[in-house]
Chain A
Amino acid sequence: MSAFPAGTAAAAGLACCHICRKLAPQALRRCPRCGGSLHLRKPESLQRTLALVLTAALLYLPANLWPIMTTSQLGHSTENTIVGGIVLLMHHGSYPIAAVIFVASVLVPISKLFALSWLCWSILRHHPASHRERTQLYRATELVGKWSMTDVFVVAILVALIQLGGLLRVTAGAAAVAFGGVVIVTMLAAESFDPRLIWDQLETVDE
């Protein structure tokens, strides 16, 4: 029995070129049009995704524990972590900004990591969850991933704008690098994930 549902290109031994999207027999190994290598599915997609998700999770720890921003005010410097900054903003009554930063810096990366992990896990374990739900989850992951750099942007803009010499100065902390790493690695993880694996477990191409 073929690993791929009947009626699909994969089942027919046809692969889509990654670069020029030409459908060609996988046996050729090379795309007859552009010369790119042909794969039925992205090679080692699950392993890569899982490894990158794990890396992102590891990077997420220092990104939250270390200060992301150091504010020097008349020689007296204050360091703020991501969560600390959100709490501070809430204390000052800036709930909308606090909410934006919370969503962009905490909610999005975590949900993305969990979503990718769960997708990989469900594929590996042949979880009987609905492929429709998994597809929606994947789409949501793709959607929020575009916004995950917000916090890094906030820091970058503040650092660039607030430089008043000894009076007031904002510098980026070590967590900004770690957080940037989290965002990049999750993007790569989402990139290496082959969504077609979701549907490969379907018996037939229905509907």
Chain B
Amino acid sequence: MSEARAEIAERRRISIIWLVPLVALVLGIGMVLYTFVSQGPLITIVFADAEGIEAGNTKIKVLNVEVGLVESAKLGDDLSKVVVKARIDKAAAPLLREGTQFWVVRPRIGTQGVSGLGTLLSGGYIQLAPGTGEPGVRSFEGLEEPPITPAGTPGLQLSLLSERAGSVSSGDPILYKGFRIGRVESAELDLESQGIRYSAFITAPYDALVTSNTRFWNASGISVSASADGVAVDTAALETLLIGGVAMGLPEGIEPGTPVAPGESFELYASFASVNERPYKRSLQYVVRFPQSVRGLRPGAPVEYRGVRLGRVERLLLREQALEGLTGQGMPIPVLIRVEPGRLELPDTKKGMEELAQAVEIGVGHGLRATLATGSLITGSLYVSLDFYPDERPAEMGSFAGHATIPSITTGLAGMEQKVSLLLDRLNALPLDATLDRAGQALASLNRVLDAPDTRALPASLEATLGELRETLDSVSAESALQTRLLQTIDELDRTLASLRGLLGTLEQQPNALFFNREAVEDPQPPAGSP
């Protein structure tokens, strides 16, 4: 009986040992729940290449701190990209924002030094650079190259446009007075404008240096140029000489202007010289049609007004001339010139342009003309000179290929040449032959006159006449009778005049002397009592 009771008790009693698996289960479920709850987001990064990425092994790091792990790396749906799925720690989830960048860190050797050497042995990892946009983004495009400037760096992003790629490439420094203030981030060919578009980043606090009038130019290499101004050699810092770079600054005498917004576009000039050639943004374009040789006139040649630089020659408009039709009557050469209001200390604005345009229009009415002048006798280079020629007939501005034209005249060497040839033409036109003929006839008739007998007798009668003339002259000489008599007559006349003077004196003192006798006048006496 006791056994039976014991058996029932054993069956009914639930041992305390069941707490052990219960605790294990609760702990296990708790851990699973905790893991699930604390699990960070799963993100998708699309890479062009999976080099160095290993599912379950490649880390995602920020500032060399691990914040995630790649869970899978598979080909995308179109089999042309690698889709990497990675689990990011919950604590690092706020880093996933609009503009967050990912790239694979691999060993790299470039002009900026060697980087990522640690990954040679440890294998690559994915670097995360947090963006600044809206949080909550879960899908990203991976970068092929590490960004020159990590996202979120304070500074200013700019676009530089250049006609040619030149020696500037991504990673090159941007220098201000030779000091590095930023970097060229990327370069791409802009299909629309057929130019190179560089993305540049100026790091804070130097971004304040960039203003609306700032100019950027290619500072790499050595530039040697010969122009109407002579020969110029330009070099930059040695570093930029070796690896290239972009310099930044203000052209001489230009105000800094206003601060610029991020993403602003600037022109990248080919050299510092070209910055100074075109330091102004606003310009007017005119066409001058020269009826003479433009040999030596190159694009870029100066346009001057009485020696003051106004602008530059852009190009010859031969194509436009061809479109207008070749007349076959000695067409003038149309030259496009650019005139900048800023050079005349006018504001570099629309208003300045209008002012200058008005001045030119009035000036043309008062004899403003364009001429080709010789800049250098050695190189033979020409420039366009504007000046007033008040003697010119008044003219009006015309229009050619959409540009206003400034009338031209020819002066200088070319003008002289023209005048000399005009003079020669006139000389040529004189009736020299006829004149000579007539002169010959005149000489012949003169000959005849001289040969006549009367003419021959002329010297003899001339001699007789001269003899008589001598005799006459002899008769009036000092010893002749005529002379003696003449002297006597003159003496008498003298005496007569002396007595007449006495009479005149008497008359003056006593006008009535003509009618009364002279009165005796007493001698004057000195008054008595005087000391």
Contacts and interface: CB of A to CB of B under 8 A. Distances in A.
B121 A76 contact: yes
B21 A44 contact: no
Contacts of A62: 28, 31
Interface in A147-166: none
Given A2-B3, A76-B122, A47 B17 contact: yes
A61 B21 CA distance: 13
A21 to B, nearest CB: 22
Contact of A58 (B7, B13, B25): B25
Q: Mostly helix, strand, loop or mixed at chain A's interface?
A: helix
B429 interface: no
Interface in B93-151: 118, 121-123
B15 A61 contact: no
Contact of A74 (B10, B20, B24, B118): B118
Nearest to B2: A27
A37 to B, nearest CB: 14
B14 interface: yes
Contact of B10 (A44, A52, A58, A78): A44
Contacts of A54: 21, 24
Contact of A48 (B3, B17, B121): B17
A73 B13 contact: no
Contacts of B57: 78
A192 B14 CA distance: 16
A55 interface: yes
B123 A44 contact: no
Contacts of A73: 121-122
- The bracket for how many chain A residues form the interface is 20 to 34
Instruction: Point out which of A58, A74, A78 has the most chain B C-beta atoms below 10 A from its C-beta.
Output: A58
B78 to A, nearest CB: 32
- The bracket for how many chain B residues form the interface is 10 to 19
Given A3-B3, A75-B122, A44 B24 contact: no
A2 B4 CA distance: 9
B18 A47 contact: yes
A67 to B, nearest CB: 11
A74 B119 CA distance: 9
A116 interface: no
Contacts of A52: 17, 20-21
Contacts of B10: 43-44
Interface string B12-47: 011101101100110010010000000000000000
A74 B122 contact: yes
Nearest to B3: A3
A51 B20 contact: yes
A59 interface: yes
A192 B18 CA distance: 13
Contacts of A55: 20-21, 24
Nearest to B125: A76
Contacts of B7: 3
Contacts of B18: 47, 51
Nearest to A27: B2
Instruction: Point out which of B10, B18, B24 has the most chain A C-beta atoms below 10 A from its C-beta.
Output: B24
Contacts of A76: 121-123
Contacts of A3: 3, 7
A48 B15 contact: yes
Interface in A34-86: 43-44, 47-48, 51-52, 54-55, 58-59, 61-62, 73-76, 78
A44 B17 contact: yes
B416 to A, nearest CB: 84
A131 to B, nearest CB: 21
B21 A51 contact: yes
A185 B20 CA distance: 10
A161 B335 CA distance: 87
A51 B118 CA distance: 51
A117 B474 CA distance: 187
A58 B21 contact: yes
Nearest to A84: B56
Given A3-B7, A74-B121, A74-B122, A58 B24 contact: yes
Given A51-B17, A54-B21, A62-B31, 12 more contacts: A2-B3, A3-B7, A44-B15, A47-B17, A51-B21, A52-B21, A55-B20, A55-B21, A58-B21, A61-B28, A74-B122, A192-B17
5 contacts: A3-B3, A43-B10, A47-B15, A55-B20, A76-B121
Interface of B: 3, 7, 10, 13-15, 17-18, 20-21, 24-25, 28, 31, 57, 118, 121-123
Interface of A: 2-3, 43-44, 47-48, 51-52, 54-55, 58-59, 61-62, 73-76, 78, 185, 192
Q: Sorted from nearest, which 8 A-B pairs have the closest CB atoms?
A: A76-B122, A54-B21, A44-B15, A47-B15, A55-B21, A58-B24, A51-B17, A48-B17
